[in-house]
Structure 1
Amino acid sequence: MKKQLEYVDSILRSDPLKAYEMVLDFKEKIQDIELKVEAKILEARALIVMSRVSEAVKIADELLAMINKHGFDEKKTTAYNIIGTIQFEFINYDKALEAYMKGLANIKAYPDTDTEAMILNNIGDIYNHLEMLDEALNYFYMSLDLAKENEFHSLVGICQLNLAEVHFKKGEFETALDQIRLAINYFSTEEDYIGISHAHYSIGKIYKTIGNYEEAKSELNLSITIMRRLHEKHTLIQAYELMIEILIDEKAYNDALEYVEDAMQISKILANKKGFGDIALHAANIYEIQENLVEAIKYYKMFAETRETYEKDIEEEHQKNIDAQINIEKAMHEKEIYRLKNVELRKKTDEIQKLYEDMNTINAISQDITSTLDIRKILYVLYENINKLMDATLFGIFLYDEKKQKLSTDLMLQYGEPLEAIELDIEDESSIIAWVVREKEAIFTENFSSEKEKYKKDFDRNNLGHNSKSIIAIPLMIQEKVVGVMTVQSSNESAYNSYHFNLLMTLASHIAIAIKNSQESLKLSTEIKERIKTQNKLEVLNEKLSHMSYIDALTNIPNRRSFVDYFTRELHRAKRQQELVSLLIIDIDFFKEYNDNYGHVEGDKCLFLVASLLKRALKREIDFVARYGGDEFVAVLSNVDYDGALQVAEEMTYNIKDHAIEHTYSPIEDIITITIGGYSVIPSNDMTMEQIIHNADNALYVAKDKGRNQISFYNDME
C-alpha cells in the first residue's frame, strides 16, 4: 500500500485524475493510520491540481482533524501548505498567507526542508499575484536556494519559471530568458517534460512580446509537440492561442485557422468554455479581415453563446466556493459552541450566531446580485439588504471609466430615495470617492468631521453627503483593477464598527463581479446586435463549412491526419469484403546528416522531391501516399498482395536512386536512398490499424539493421 501511495505521488502532477481515482479506490482498504493521513494528503492535492477547490476544502479540514487527533504534528506543515493553497485559489490571500506562516512555524519544531521550500515559493506566488514584484522575487529566491540545497530539482525548475515571470512583468526580458533556460536544465534532469513544455511556452511568450516572432513560433512549436505527446491538453490550448495571435499579426490567416480548428476541438473535449470562446473570437476576427462575413458572423455567435454560458458557470463555481467556505467556517464555529459552558462564553455563542445570520444575508445578497444583469436592480437589492445589516442613511455605487478617468453614478440612494446623477474626475481633490480609486484603499471612519483633512472633503460642491459622520467607502476590484466604489454613510457618529466594515469588504468582491458581468453583458449585447445587422445584409449568401486541412504544407501530399482517416476507411472496407490491404513505411536514410550539413532549406527541398518521386510510383487513383512525420512517409495499397506491394516499393526505391539527389554525408551511398518496411494482410475483424502499422514498422527496423537502402516485409519475417 505504501508503494501504491508513492506511485500516486509520482503521477499526481502529470495525471491528477488518475491519481485521485486510485486514492479513492484503495484509501478505505488502508488500516495503518499514518498511511490514511498520507492518502488524505494526496486526495487533497489531486483535487487542487484539478481545480476542484471547493471539494478540497472538506478534505483539508478532515486531514487537519486526523493530524490533531492522532498527534502527527510533523504532518501539520503539509496540511497548512494545502490549506494555504486552497485559500490562494479562493483569492483569500490574507488567509493563505496565515496558513503558510503556520506551516513555516511548525517547521521549526519538525524540520521539513522540501515543504519549507514549497511554502516559500507559494508565498512568492501570492506577492506575484498582488503585483508586489520585489517581495515576490525575495521569496522565490529563498525557495530556489533551499530547493537547490536539497537537490529538489523539479521545484528548482518551478522557481526559475516563477522568477522568469516576475522579471518578465518588470520588463527584464533577458533576465527572464536566462531563468527559463536554467529551469529547462533542471526539468531535464528530472525528465519533467511538463515543466519543459511550460518553459518553452514561456520563452515563446517573451519573444512574442519583444516582437521576435520567428523565435516565438519555434519555441511554441517545441512546447506544442511535447504537450501533444503528453496529452497535456489544458496548457496546449494556451500555446495554440499564443501561436494564433502571432500568425494573425503576421497576416498568416490560413495557418492561424489550422490551429483554430485544433484548439476548438480540444476545448470541446475538455469542456473548456472560456478557451473555446476565446479561440472562436480569433476565428471571427480572421474571417472578418478576410471579408468572409458569413463565417465571421458564425464564429461571433459561437463566441457570444459560449461567453454567456461560461460566465454562468463561473458564477456557479464562485457560489460553490463561497458555500464551501461558509460551511467550513460554520463547522468550526459549531465545534466552538459545543465547547462553551458559561455565561461569558455564551455571549460568544450569540456573536457567532449573529455571524451565521449575517453570512447567510451576505450569501443571499451574492446570489441575488449575480442572478441579474440589470445594474439598477443590483443597487436596490444591495440597499434593501445592507439596511438589514447596518444603518445606511446614504448608499451608492460609483462606476469607474478608466479610459475617461471619470467616476459616475446614477446609483445613489438617500433615505431610500434616488439622488441626482453625479460625475467626478479621478483627480478631484475634493472627493473622498476619487481618493479611494487613486489609492486603491478603503476608508472607514466613525467621525468624518474630525478626520476629513486626511481624505479631503467629500461631495461639498454637490451639497451631497456632507452631513455624513460615519463613512465606509470600499474600492470594488477585479484582478487588481478598480471598477467602482461602494459607499455606505450614516448621519450618526460611531454608526459602524470593524465588524460592519469586514462584512462590506466580504461583499465587495461579489458586487465587483456583478458590475463587471453587467458591463460585459451590455457590451456583448451591443456587439451581437451590430453583427446581426451585418448578417441580415448577407442573407443571400450560403454559409460555407470550414474544412480542416489534410495536406502537408511542405510536401504538398496528404498529412498524417489524412493518412489515419484514409487507412481507417480502407481497413474497415478490407475487413467487410475480406480483401488484402498493404502498408509501406518509407524512411529517408541518414536524413539528419543531410539536414545538418546541407541546411534546413535544402532539407525541405529534398523532402518535397522525395514525396513527388514516391507519389510517381503509384499507378492507381486509389493508391495513397502521405507524409507520416519528419522524414518518414507511408503508402496504403488497397487490394494489393505481397508481390504487388513489393513491386511498388521497388519502383519507389528506383525512382529515388534514379534521381540521384546528392548526399555525400551518407555512409552508404553518395546520393539519397530510402529504406522500406511493408506488411500485406487480409485483416481479421479484431485486427487494428495500430497492429498493421506496428508490423510494417518492425519490418522497417529489420531493413535498417541490415544496413538500410533496402526493402523488408513483415510477411518474410513470420
Structure 2
Amino acid sequence: MEYKINSLIEQANNEEETIKKIELYCEISKELEYYDINSSFDFAVKGYSLSKKVNYIDGVTECLYRKGRCTWLKGDYNKSIDILNKAIIVAEKNNLYKNQVEIYNNLGNVYVSLVNYDKAYNYYLKALKVEEDNYFTSYKYIILNNIGIIYSELGNYEKSLEYYFRSQMESEAVKNEKFVSIPLINIASVYNNQKKYGKAFDYTNKSLIICEKYNDKIGIAHAYNSFSEINLNQNKKKEALKNLKNALKVAKEVGSKDFEVKILLEINKILMEEKAFIEIFDNLQQALTIYNEEEKDSQVAEIYKQYAFIYEEIGKCEVAYKYLKKYIDIEKKILNTDTEERLKSINLLYKSEEARKENEIFQLKNVELKRKKEELEKAYNNIRIISEIGKNIISTTNIGKILSQIYSHINKLMDSFVFGIGIYDEENQKIYNEFFIEDNKRQKKRIIDLNDPKSYTAWCMRNRKKIFISNQDLEYKQYVEEKSFYTLGEKTKSLIYCPLIVEKKLVGVITVQSLKENAFNTNTVDIIEALSSYIAIAIKNAQKSEALSKEIKEKEEAQTKLVSLNSKLLNLSQIDGLTGVANRRRFDDFLDDVWNICRRKNTVLSVAIIDIDFFKEYNDNYGHILGDYIIKVVAKTLDSTLVRNSDLIARYGGDEFIAVMPDTDIDGIKNICTKMIENINQLNIEHRFSKISNKLTLSIGAACIIPDSDECIEKFLQRADIALYKAKAAGRNRLTIFSEEIGG
C-alpha cells in the first residue's frame, strides 16, 4: 500500500474532504496492521487528531479503536485497555453499534492475552448481543473464533474445535478468505495438542498459503511458530529451530514485540540443549530490552528462569541464585492470580451454558402454552410468505425492485387498498414517498416534512412508534391535528404505519391502509412489523450499495490519476533537469540492461564519452547563464544525432555527456561521433577563450566491446575515458577510439 497519502488525497480544504482523508487513514491503518503495526498505529493517531479537530465522532471512535488494537498487537495490554475503554464510551454514547462490536471483541482479545478468561468471555458475549440486537452479523465469525481460543486455553479441545470450525464456515460464507487463516491455525494447534500431527501440519500449511497470498505477516509468523511446535512434539529440533527463526524474522518486521519475545524464549529452549550460551545470552538481552517488568510478569519470569539456568551451567551460582529468586517471586504472584482466574472462567462458562439451556426450555414451554391450535395453519402460511418476501428483497440492492416485490406479495397477507413506503432523508429532515400505490395504481412521489403536525408519516417517524387505527374518524386525534387522506377517491378508515429502523437509525416508513373499518388486527400489525425489519435492512443495503458503487468509482478514478502521476514521477526521476536528456541514474540502469543483452546475444556494444572543449573558460568569461544555455544546446544536438530508439544520450557530468549504442561496431561509432563533432562545429557558437578555435568544439573518446564473463562495465567505461584523454592530448576537437595500443 502506498504510504504517502498526499499523493492520493490533496490537502483537505473543507470538512467533507477532511472526513474523506480520515476514512482513508483508517483504511490504511487497518491494512497495515498485518505487516507494519507501528505504521498502522501512526495512521490511527493522525486520523484521531483530524477527527477531533473537525468533531467527526465516527472518526474519533474508529481511530481510538484502531489505536487500541495496534497497542494490543504490540503487546502493551494495559495501555490498550485504557484506549479501548475510551473508545467504547464514545461508541455507546453515540449509538455506533458496529464500533461497539469491534471494541468489545478487541477487549476480549486483550483479556485473553492477560489470561483473564472470564472478562474476555463477557466481552465476547457483549459483542454478540450488540450484533443480534441490531440485526447484523458482520463479526460473528471473528467472535466465534475468539471463544474457541478460550475453550482451547482451558483444555476443552472438542469444544474449541466446534467453535473454530463454526468460525471457518461463517467466514467462508461471507467470503472473507483472509480471516479463514486464523481459525485454520487454531485448528492446527488443537490437533497438535491431540498429537494428530498430520492434520496439524495440513491445517498450518493451509493457513500459511492464505497469509502469504494476502501478505499477512502476523499470520505468517504464527504459521512458522505452529510448524515449530509440531516439529518439537515430533522431536525434530533442527526443523523446529529453523521455523522459529523464520517466525522471529517476520515478527521483527511487523513489530509484534510480545510475539517476538515468545519466539526468542522458545529458541533458547532448543539452544540450551546445544549449550549455545552466547546466542542464548544475546536472545535474553533482546527480550529484556523489549519488556517492562511491571507489565509483563509471566514473560519476564521466563527470562529470569533462563538466565538462572545459564549462569548455573557456566558455574556462576551467585548470579544464578539472584535470577532464580526473581523468577520465584514473580511465579508466586502469577500462580495465585492464574488459579483464581481459571476457576472463575470455568464457573462462568458453566453458569452461562446452564442459563442458556434453561432459557431455551422456558421459551419453548411459553410458546406452546400461548399458541392456539386454530392459528397454526394461518401463522405458518404468513411466516412462509414473509420469509419469501424477506429473501427476495434482501437478495437485491435495487430499491425500485425491492418496493415492487413487496407490493406483489402484500395483498396475499391483508387488505391493502393503499400501500406505501417512504424513504427518510436525515440531512434534510424530509420523508420521500418513493412508492405509493392506491387501488393498484402508482401515485406521484410526495415529500413530507418531518415536523408536519398533520402527517401520520411524520408522527410515526418522529416518535419511532407504529400507528394502528381501526377507525380514522374516531382515532386520528391521538396522532395528528386533523384527518389526513392521501387517497384520490374514497377515504381510508383503517391504517397501519410502522417505522423502518436499522441499527437504531431511521431509514423510512411503511403504511398499509383499507377502506373498511377494523380491517386489521394485531396479527396484521405483527406481520407489518416483521416485514418492516426485512424492508429496513433491504433499503439500507441498497443505499449502502449505491454509496459503495459511487465510492468504488471515485477510488478507481483516484487510482488512475495516481498511476499516471507515478508514471510522470518515474520519468522525471530519470531525466536531467537542465538538459532534458537522460540523467546519470537512467544511464547506469540502461547500460546495465544493454550490457546483459549484448552478452547473451554475443553482439557488439559501443560507448562514447563527449566533453565540451574548454568549457570552464567559457563559463568563467561568458557567465553561468550562457553556460547552462550552451549545455542545453549541445545536449539537444547530440540527442538528435542519435536516430535509433535503441541508443541513449545522457548527461554524464557537468559538461560531459555519454552515448550508449548497442549493435554498433567501430565503423558505426566512428560515423556517429564524427557527425556529432560536425554538427556542433556547424552551430558556429562563439568561444573566443578556447585555446584551439574561436568557436565551440567537442572531444570524444569511444570504445567498442562484445561483453563476456571476463569483462566488466567499469573497465569498458575506463577504456572510453582513456580514449577521451588521448583525444584531448592530441589537440582536442576530435574523436579517438580505444585500442590496445592506446591503452598500453
TM-score of the superposed pair, with normalisation by structure 2: 0.39
